[in-house]
Amino acid sequence: MDQPTTDPDLPLRYPFPPGELGAPPLLLGWARKKQPVCPVVLPSGDRVWMVTRKDDITRVLTDPGFSRDLTYPGAPRFVGDDFTSVPGGIFNLDPPDHTRVRQVINRFYTRSAVERHRPVIEGHAVRLLDDMAHGPNPADLMPAYAAALPLHVAREILAVPPELHSDYHSCFRTQTHLAASAAAVAAATASITDFTREVIETKRRDPDPDEPIGALIRARSGGLISEGELIGTTSYLFVTGSEPLTAPLGTGVITLLTHPRQLRECIKAPDLWPKAVEEILRYHHNGVLGMPRIATEDVTLHDVTIRKGEGVCCPMLGATHDPAHYPNPSRFNIHRTTDASATFGAGPHFCLGAPLTRLFLHTAYRALFTRFPSLFLAVPEREIPWEDNLLFIKPASLPIAW
């Protein structure tokens, strides 16, 4: 079943009831079929439109008539002034400013460039798995591996001293918590901005042009970007550097363990791991709704008029589970001929970190199941608790044994 048995009341209210074991909310399938341009109320009370068909999503993401700038007063927010309220970050810039700033750091995130981080990911993975092997069995994979590995890797890639980064990790979580108060979200955003300034000032004395923050500082010194763009884009790198990877790492392990035949194929033939990563990214995309775009003019889509100034959300799960593009989309199948590109968006804001995400998950899954090929869930799969009040849905805990 990929949609509710009865029609829901409109507008829909976000967050949606989650699907089983991290699968897409059933409301997405219902909306795609019956209400392809659907009104949704966010936890803040702001109202937006949601489109759920892949072709419509691609149109919104590639049409310059929809802006990514959410920094103005009154812009739609999930809860409060989160990272979308910070001016200058590439997340909130439209071309040509977005293009100018992104070019400064794009070279660090190409497929060939991220390969240099493979030993970093492998090294941290081995250390964490060693610690897990010498600890209690069963163990909770979330704190032991799925949450810890992205944090260590992001810290090293961005060359941030541990003593600076650790104090602010809780702020990253608060900023994406859908049940937090607007004041708490705004305070977390302010703390992350202060942290960003502190890191920049530490690095400004001797910026390393061979890492992203150092390159941004050099670009600021050369007049290529503004101070606001330096702070906003560095803040964006911190916010997106670890938490968005924790969710697919934890959820992906559950999915693999509940599809044991396909998992065994990957363990026996490691060249299948990239295919497994693509299917996990297609199947899940733990962000669900996606951040709003703003219509800069009236647009009519499926006989619905989206007025100038209204927000439109494009859930990537709507795209990657569209049966017009993905046959039998609710079936997890690592042998699909399609890839997961749609999960990373489209147009100018196609995810900067897509190659790094693929490399990270490939390395993390392979390391885990090479070290623990007999890994299994220590509780029945439907007893796994989920955090569904976060921007990135993930297991609250993941008891595993070996």
pLDDT tens readout for residues 213-268: 999 999 999 999 999 999 999 999 988 888 889 999 999 999 999 999 999 999 99
In the predicted structure, residue 1 carries a pLDDT above the cut 70: no
For residue 82, report the phi and psi dihedrals to the nearest 5 degrees.
-90, -160
**Spatial separation of the C-alpha atoms in residues 159 and 225, rounded to whole Å:** 21
Per-residue model confidence (pLDDT) at position 213? 96
Tokens at residue 303, please?
A: 């006989």
Retrieve residue 41's tokens.
Answer: 């109320």
**Least confident range of 17-31, 258-272, 373-387:** 17-31
Q: What pLDDT does 173 receive?
A: 79
Give me the residue label for tokens 């990911």: 121
Where is 219: in which H helix or E strand?
helix 212-221
Q: What are phi and psi of 127, to 5 degrees?
A: -65, -45
Over residues 303-315, the mean pLDDT reads: 97
Confidence band (pLDDT; 50, 70, 90) for 166?
low
Instruction: Supply the pLDDT for residue 167.
Output: 61
What is the rounded CA–CA span in Å between residue 167 and residue 151?
12
CA 163 to chain CA mean position, Å: 25
- Cα(229)–Cα(90) distance, rounded to whole angstroms? 8
pTM of this prediction? 0.95
Q: Determine the length of the chain.
A: 402
Report pLDDT for 120: 97
- pLDDT for residue 316: 94
Q: What is the mean pLDDT of residues 144-165?
A: 87
Nearest to 280 by CA among 353, 316, 345, 334: 334
List Cβ neighbours of 369 (8 Å cut-off, separation of 6 or more). Answer: 256, 263, 266, 267, 375
Q: How far is CA 329 from the centre of its chain?
A: 20
Decide if pLDDT at 165 tops 70.
Answer: no
Question: What is the dihedral angle through the alpha carbons of 253, 257, 263, 268, rounded to the nearest 10 degrees?
Answer: 100
